[in-house]
């Protein structure tokens, strides 16, 4: 284990997305101390935080941690086969987008967020904003790509249903 520091600036006016990032980080590490200071600067006021933590090199970044107590979720077991197929498409897109931007995948969307999007069959940006932890910045940046994937999935499901209806009607005519 090695001692590490991570610094956060959280704007007081628009804290939601930064708060989510901070909370995810805090759940993923063993925190030693948090140094915080409020910086009063009118509309630009913010919180500055320095987190001192221990990094366990044996853990993978996405694995279960003792500090969080969260277990890894198998979405294939939780989601319906149709929802899991859409979830998988979102996961593939997220992997490519994260590689292009050279950022961790969870910064784009978490597994839980993708599962909610798949379950709710979201096809509008406004509905994306209702997903917990998705702030305006991420909806603006990634919303079009997510909506495109979801719309294509809806179109494919519609054409599959039409094919089934045609098959059933041709069977009944025989």
Task: Tell me the per-residue pLDDT of 64-123, one tens digit each, with 9 for 90 and over.
Answer: 444 455 667 888 888 888 989 999 999 999 999 999 999 999 899 999 999 999 999 988
Q: Is the pTM value of this prediction over 0.85?
A: no
pLDDT in tens, 26-77: 888 888 888 999 999 888 899 899 988 887 654 444 444 444 556 678 888 8
Residues 6 or more apart in contact with residue 3 via CB below 8 angstroms? 32, 52, 53, 54, 55
- What is the three-class DSSP state of 171? helix
Q: Which residues pair with 37 in a beta bridge?
A: 48
Can you read off the two tokens belonging to residue 74? 């198998």
Instruction: Concatenate the DSSP letters of all residues of 66-94 into one string.
Output: TTT-PPPP-HHHHS-HHHHHHHHHHHHHH
The DSSP output letter for 138 is: H
134/16 Cα distance (integer angstroms): 9
Give the closest residue to 1 by CA, choosing from 52, 58, 51, 50.
Answer: 58
User: Both tokens of residue 23?
Assistant: 């909370």
What backbone phi and psi angles, to 5 degrees, belong to 134? -95, 105
Cα distances from 37 to residues 6, 91, 160, in angstroms, run 14, 37, 56
How distant, in Å, are the alpha carbons of 24, 86, 109 from that of 133?
Answer: 10, 20, 9
């Amino acid at each position: 284990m090695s001692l590490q520091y991570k610094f956060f600036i959280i704007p007081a006016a628009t804290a939601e997305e930064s708060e989510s990032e901070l909370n995810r980080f805090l759940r993923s590490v063993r925190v030693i101390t948090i140094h915080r200071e409020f910086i009063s600067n009118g509309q630009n006021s913010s919180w500055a935080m320095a987190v001192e933590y221990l990094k366990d090199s044996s853990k993978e970044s996405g694995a279960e941690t003792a500090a969080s107590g969260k277990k890894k979720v198998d979405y294939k077991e939780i989601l319906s086969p149709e929802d899991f197929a859409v979830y998988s498409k979102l996961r593939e897109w997220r992997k490519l987008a994260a590689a292009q931007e050279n950022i961790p995948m969870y910064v784009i969307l978490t597994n839980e967020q993708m599962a909610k999007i798949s379950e709710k069959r979201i096809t509008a940006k406004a509905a994306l904003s209702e997903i917990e932890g998705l702030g305006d910045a991420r909806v603006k940046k990634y919303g079009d790509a997510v909506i495109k994937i979801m719309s294509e999935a809806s179109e494919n499901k519609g054409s599959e249903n039409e094919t089934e209806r045609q098959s059933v009607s041709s069977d009944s005519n025989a």
